[in-house]
Amino acid sequence: MRQLSLLCALCAILVAADGRTLHSCAYITPQDPFVVVDTNLTAFCHLNETCIRELGHPITSRDLFWKVGDTVIPESHYTVVNNSVSSVTFQPTLAMHNSVTCSFKAYGQTEATLHGIYFSLGYPPEKPENLTCVCYNAETLTCTWEPGRDPIIATTYTLKQSWVRPDLVSNTEMTQNLTPSDYPHIPRPFVSRINEQRKDCIAEAGKNSCTLNYPDFILHINTVFSVEAANELGRAESDRLEFDINDIVKPNPPHIVRVFDILQKVLKIEWENPFESTQYFQYNIRYRPLGSSQWSEVPSEDLEKTRKSFILQELQPYTTYNIIMRCKLIDKGFWSKWSKEYTATTSESTPSKGPEFWRKIIRTDSEKRVVQLMWKDLKSHANGRILGYNVTVKKGAEVETFRVVDTTCNITVPEGSYDVLLTAYNSQGSSPPSRLKIPSDTDQKVVKPEEMNFKAFPKDGELWVEWAPLKGVFGYVIEWCSNHETMDCNAEWQREPSNVTKTFLRGDIKPFVYYLIRLIPLYTDGKVRSSIFGTYLQQGAPDVGPAVKTKATGKTWVTLVWIPIPLPQRNGFITNYTIKYGGHDGPAEAITVNASVTEYTLKSLAAKTTYSVSVTANTEQGRKAGLPFSLTTLPFGNGEVEAIVVASCIGFMVLILILCVLFCNKREQIKQHIWPNVPDPSKSNIAQWSPQTPSRHEPKRHPFQDGPFTDVSVVQITRDDKPDDQDTKSLDQIKKNTSEGLSSGIGGSSCLSSPHLSASDSDGISCAQNTSSTVQYSTVIMGGYQGQTPMFSRSESTQPLLISEERPDEQSTPPPASQEDDTQTPSQYFKQNFTVEESGRNQEPPPVLHLAGFSQGLNNPDFTAGCNVNPDGQSQEDEPKTYLPQTMRQGGYLPQLG
């Protein structure tokens, strides 16, 4: 309960509104103080003992503590005055919170605020300076001043006015109210009016000026003005300013009613004054041609007396002028503002000057020339609206005149020099003539700039040209082209008089643009000596870099070539080029060459190496590098490949020569290895087996010339019983034919039938014809009937004879055929081709010899090559129709197929 009652008491303390009431337990003095910056603030907290006793909890001044905002002030700043009063002294700053509270802790834990105040930091006002006042057209009075340092806290500025008594010597003694005796020259009612209407002016917050409206101020009376500044920290007053308000009057500008021309080169101005009374004003009048920035002013002595009009003389004819004016009271007050500009135009007169005149010669053939004449508008010298131009061409006594309304014309004249006169005319007359000399081709010459001391340079944002004075000239013409390396362009030009040696180009001259300028003196004798000079108004870095490429590449060198940057993209004079190159792994190197060089050879490079190359163009004001370019050096130098090829060819030829020599010397040995000797079958012992072997020197003759054959097969017929007489006769006949007619010896030509055999007897036997490229062999048929001699079968095989054939004594003899067997065992040199079926002993067919391999058959229509014949004369289609292989039991050849 005790704690609850204490909290209720604290609530009563917190809601206390006035620290000085009896119901408050504490209050702080001073209340809401104003403190000067950088000074100390001392506050006192007073405890109400009656209120403390009612709390039932004793509190003394030692239990109190102070806070600025939420920050506790250290106890070192506290002072205990007595048991009920505690004070604190500290120096507040602008960064601090502007509240101070007095608090205590109940039971040492709960913080309770007894009372608080707010303080304000600031400065006392400074003395206002530079007080000035202006009366605008006698209607309003405005005074301004400089307040000085910002006081931070609210400050009031009051403009005060008072009147000085005439009988007082010192102006510092002032009276607030006027009496008729103070100003006897002022009527009594007017003095009373002044006293009643005089008011002070309080400036608005944040402003340093104050305005009084008439009749809060009085004219024709010396008035003293001052400004007083006041705030909670102090007061300050400015110096007193005394003047007659007439002395500070600034009237409104005059109102120009109209301006009109009354004569050539004359304009009349009429206006209205700001005051009804005009005897006190003086004026300023200014005028200028339209578009000009320079004003001309009428002399002040011509405008001393008050007036309402003025005449401007000696103006340019047919020229538009802007006119302004202002006024002020005579010998007092301030000048008014300038009036609004009024525009008027003078009347026309004859042109005062001939046009600027120039020409351009265009040759069409060897005898005549086309000359383009061109001139510029007269502008200010036209003195009116130009209606046209008169062009006169003179050559000796010949004169031709024609009119032109444009500023250019073309004339065709023969070769030679001419005089051309040009005049412009308007409604008032013609201008003085402009003269131009058209020279012949022989009178034109270009000289170096040094001969005329001709140069061009930028100055003050303009491009100036300068040259030395020349004698015998009546003028100069300056031509220029932009971004051209020759004067073959649509050049701009301007003309200067003979007494000028320095001027600037009157055109749209831009920075970073190359200008080619030509100076042409106009000699009286018609000769032309021109000079050309190139320059920039301002230089910069090029827009692009040079594009580089290779012209030639070697093993340790490479020749680079680049195209100069186009003139419009250079932005300045190229002073030099920097070539930067390097391998991927090595350091980069740089070489600088002159601006005239566009080809360079890099040396001492590594063979078969890739390099990155870039070329940078440098000007006086910057640089620009081209895109990097990669190149690779060659693995071999010039002539190395040719030397290797020549050496290889020579070595190969030497090798071939050596091989040829060796081949010639070892021809027999090489021939034996490559082409071995083939044994001659005719020299073999087998040739002796045939009883009809021809002599070695006997000429070989083919028995049949009608058709060749490739092989001969001999049919061996086997029987169980001995042949009868018919069979024996047939066999003997075949044997005879075979031994006599078919065998022609080993190595020669052979035929299976003798010339005397008929077609019916041989039944399709044909002859095989030898060729010169074939070595013929014979196959010896060993088997057969008892007592039958060996037979030779012709073959076209080119295989060499085996050793067993050349040596018959080493051959194995086949076993004799059994007479009881139905089949005959093939011998070493033949294979049985076919057999004849027996139908009975009494009906045995005669033995038939079958020859295979004929390319042409006999005339027998029933003949079939390569087929077996039965007794009935029908062929057996199941028998093979190709050559049969030659088999052997021991040694010999492999089977020969077809």
CATH number at residue 69: 2.60.40.10
Q: Are residues 845 and 737 in the same domain?
A: yes
Evaluate whether residue 720 is within a structural domain.
yes
How many Å apart are CA 742 and CA 130, to the nearest integer?
164
Q: Same domain for 705 and 850? A: yes
- What is the per-residue pLDDT for 373? 92
Cα 340 from chain centroid? Answer: 53
Residue 821 pLDDT class (50, 70, 90 cuts)? very low
Compare 534 and 880 and report the one with higher pLDDT: 534
How large is the average pLDDT for residues 246-251? 91
Domain boundary among 218, 248, 278: 248
- Residues 58, 31, single domain; the answer is yes
CA atoms within 13 A of residue 647's CA, in its CB half-sphere: 6
pLDDT above 70 covers a percentage of the chain that reads 68
Same domain, 173 and 273: no
Question: Of the spans 183-197, 269-283, 447-461, which averages the highest pLDDT?
Answer: 447-461
Domain boundary among 395, 414, 438: 438
Judge whether residue 575 has pLDDT over 90: yes
* Residue 364: pLDDT band with limits 50, 70, 90: low
**Is residue 542 in some structural domain?**
no
The dihedrals phi and psi of 491, each to the nearest 5 degrees, come to: -75, 145
pLDDT of 736 reads 45
Task: Give the torsion through C-alpha atoms of 838, 843, 847, 849, to 10 deg.
Answer: -80
541 domain-assigned: no
Instruction: Please tell me the predicted confidence (pLDDT) of residue 198.
Output: 59
Same domain, 724 and 840: yes
- 133 vs 141: CA distance, rounded Å: 7
Q: Are 868 and 725 members of one domain?
A: yes
Together in a domain, 616 and 572: yes
The band of 246, judged by pLDDT with boundaries at 50, 70 and 90, is: confident
pLDDT value of residue 279: 62
pLDDT at 737 over 80: no
Lowest mean pLDDT among 223-227, 363-367, 672-676, 718-722: 718-722
Average pLDDT rounded to a whole number, residues 311-320? 90
**135 and 252 Cβ atoms separated by less than 8 Å:** no
Residue 795 confidence (pLDDT): 46
C-alpha span between 45 and 104 (Å, rounded): 11
More confident residue, 568 or 850: 568
Question: Which residue among 536, 569, 601 closes a domain?
Answer: 536
Residue 264 pLDDT greater than 60, yes or no: yes
Exposure string for 869-893, b = 16+ CB within 10 A, e = fewer: beeeeeeeeeeeeebbebebeeebb
pLDDT tens per residue across span 739-784: 444 333 333 333 333 333 333 333 433 333 333 334 444 444 444 4
Q: Is residue 647 part of a domain?
A: no
Q: Which residues constitute the domain of residue 527?
A: 442-536
Give the whole-number percent of the chain exceeding pLDDT 90. Answer: 34
Q: Is residue 111 part of a domain?
A: yes
pLDDT at 448: 87
Tell which residue, 290, 273, 291, has the closest CA to residue 282: 273
Q: Is the pLDDT of residue 1 over 70?
A: no
| Interatomic CA distance for residues 100 and 73, integer angstroms | 10
Amino acid 271 reads W
Q: Which of 495, 530, 492 is nearest to 513 (CA)?
A: 492
Where is average pLDDT lowest: 202-211, 761-770, 795-804?
A: 761-770
pLDDT value for 679: 74
* Pair 424, 459 in one domain: no
Residue 856 pLDDT > 70: no
**Spatial contact of 327 and 254, defined as CB atoms under 8 Å apart:** yes
pLDDT in tens, 625-655: 999 989 999 888 777 777 888 888 998 999 9
Query: Mean pLDDT across the stretch 211-239?
Result: 89
pLDDT at 532: 93
Handedness of CA 316, 318, 324, 328 (dihedral sign): positive
What's the rounded Cα separation, in Å, for the pair 267 and 307?
Answer: 16
CB 575 within 8 A of CB 620: yes
Quick one: how far is CA 865 from the chain centroid?
93
Handedness of CA 808, 814, 817, 818 (dihedral sign): positive
742 shares its domain with 608 = no
Residue 838 forms part of a structural domain: yes
List pLDDT tens digits, range 62-90: 888 999 988 899 989 999 899 889 999 99
Same domain, 398 and 517: no
Does residue 562 share a domain with residue 466? no
User: Residue 108 — pLDDT band, cuts 50, 70, 90?
Assistant: low
- Count of domains forming the chain: 7
| CA neighbor of 769 nearest in space, from 790, 802, 796, 729 | 796
Question: Are 209 and 238 found together in one domain?
Answer: yes
Of 46-50, 400-404, 458-462, the poorest mean pLDDT is in 46-50
- Does the pLDDT value for residue 464 go beyond 60? yes
Q: How far are the Cα atoms of 215, 220, 248, 513, 854 from residue 534, in angstroms, in the given order? A: 73, 72, 61, 11, 108
Answer for the pair 618, 625: CB distance below 8 angstroms, yes or no.
no
pLDDT band of residue 585 (cuts 50, 70, 90) is: confident
Average pLDDT, the chain: 74
Evaluate if residue 548 carries a pLDDT over 50: yes
129-179 pLDDT, tens digit per residue, is 999 999 998 889 999 999 999 998 999 999 998 876 544 434 444 444 445
Dihedrals phi, psi of 658, to nearest 5 degrees: -60, -45
**Is 126 within 8 Å of 152 (Cβ atoms)?**
no
Whole-number pLDDT of residue 7? 44
Residues 456 and 461: their CA atoms lie apart, in Å, by: 13
3-state secondary structure of 377: coil
pLDDT above 70 (res 486): yes
The whole-angstrom separation of Cα 582 and Cα 577 is 17
**Mean pLDDT over residues 575-598, rounded?**
89
User: What is the distance between the alpha carbons of residues 456 and 537, in angstroms, rounded to a whole number?
Assistant: 9
Domain-embedded: residue 640: no
Q: What share of the chain is helix, strand, coil (3-state, %, to 5)?
A: 15, 35, 50
Q: Strands of 204-248 (E only): list them.
A: 209-213, 222-231, 234-237, 241-244
- Asked if pLDDT for residue 579 goes beyond 90, the answer is yes
The values of phi and psi at residue 673, to 5°, are -80, -35
